[in-house]
Amino acid sequence: MDNAVAAAYGWTDLDLAHSFHETSQGIRCTIHEPVRRQVLSRLLPLNHARYAETAAGLHEKKEGRKARATGDAREEEGQLGLF
């Protein structure tokens, strides 16, 4: 599965070096530590880009809600002025 995920990201240049390695949790079957660091260094800018896209979308939604809320209030004021 790790190889499939790496290929999906286009990281076919990585040799994940699956084996039993010492970790902070003891000996585990995992990818080699230098490769793990490389994966994390590649994921970090992708994570920042995804956050920026998400944050921009959230700000656009908030601005849209503010505009609608202001428009609704104006409409209500206009209607109240009729009575």
Closest CA to 29 of 17, 37, 38, 41: 17
Give 1's pLDDT tier (boundaries 50, 70, 90): confident
Torsion-angle region of 27 (φ positive above 0: left; ψ -120 to 50: alpha; else: beta): beta
Prediction pTM value: 0.63
User: pLDDT per residue over 45-70, tens digit each?
Assistant: 999 999 999 998 877 766 666 555 55
